[in-house]
Structure 1
Amino acid sequence: MNLSRWICYAVGYVFITSGILKLVVSDFKGLFISLGLPFPEATLLVIALIEIACGMLIAGRMYVNLAVPPLILVMLGAIYLTKLPVLFNKGFLSFAFEARLDIVILILLLLIWQHIRGKR
């Protein structure tokens, strides 16, 4: 079994579980409201569904070229909205700690994207 398969399983797992938690844990509703996003409940639902659907596609290694870009945008948005304020308010070390999973997942998504683009 090759490495890219395991990376797809791991990335898919992270997004599937994250999306499901966004749908069942009420704390996320408050978080999205506090971010000042327009239509926070609808935004939360859309983000959760994108994470679940794209995570399943990546884990199943189906339509990966279509599933990766939305998740890259989700991760960039998460870093921008939730992690950059940590950088500006608490400093680099706090940011580096808080953003570690986001950054690793973003790198893995980029590796998957590069791998898929290289096969063409």
Structure 2
Amino acid sequence: MQESLSRVNWISMAVGYVFIASGITKLVVSDFKTIFLSLGLPYPEAVLYLIAISELACGMLLIGRMFIRQAIAPLILIMLGALYLTKIPILLNQGFISFLFESRLDILLLVLLLVLWHQFRGKTVDE
């Protein structure tokens, strides 16, 4: 069990790092405002900040190993939204191979989040 927990710790830290980096980037790189405007979302700038702050906060919770299950849920929703809004159009317009390439990291993060979700169902971090 200890070896398994060690792997889960590494996964939590890696996934947390990715979301912290993503959240910070969304907050400081102005190009993301243009990207969110092009998605056709209502209040795109507010959505951008909400997603960025959520990624940052949930990533920190994952690295800190606190409220892991509660941190994973919004990140799963963010990844599903990213796939739907940014990768499905690639599938429809550019084809399956382009979709596979462009969505590879989104799908990997989604799978890792689901692994963590499964690992922490009904458990506390100390168990």
TM range (shorter): over 0.9
1:29 aligns with 2:33: yes
Point out where structure 1 has 5 or more consecutive residues left out of the alignment. none
2:119 is matched with 115
Structure 1 residue ranges (4+ consecutive) displaced by more than 2 angstroms after TM superposition? none
Give the partner amino acid of 1:62.
M
User: What percentage of aligned pairs have identical amino acids?
Assistant: 62
* SS class of match (2:119): helix
Distance 2:56 2:105 in 1: 18
Residue 70 of structure 2 corresponds to 66
Matches within 5 A, 1:7-26: 7-26=11-30
Deviations 1:54-82 (A, max 9, x none): 00001111000110000000000000000
- How big is each residue's C-alpha offset from its partner over 1:92-115, in whole Å with a ceiling of 9 and x where there is no partner? 110000000000000000000000
Q: 5+ residue gaps in structure 2?
A: none
Structure 1 equivalent of residue 83 of structure 2: 79
Q: 1:105 aligns with which of 103, 109, 124?
A: 109
- Structure 2 counterpart of 1:97, one-letter code: F
What TM-score do the two structures reach when normalised by structure 1? 0.97
Q: Normalising by the residue count of structure 2, what TM-score does the alignment of the two structures yield?
A: 0.92
Q: State the aligned residue count.
A: 120
Aligned to 1:41: 45
Over the residues paired in the alignment, what is the CA RMSD in angstroms? 1.1
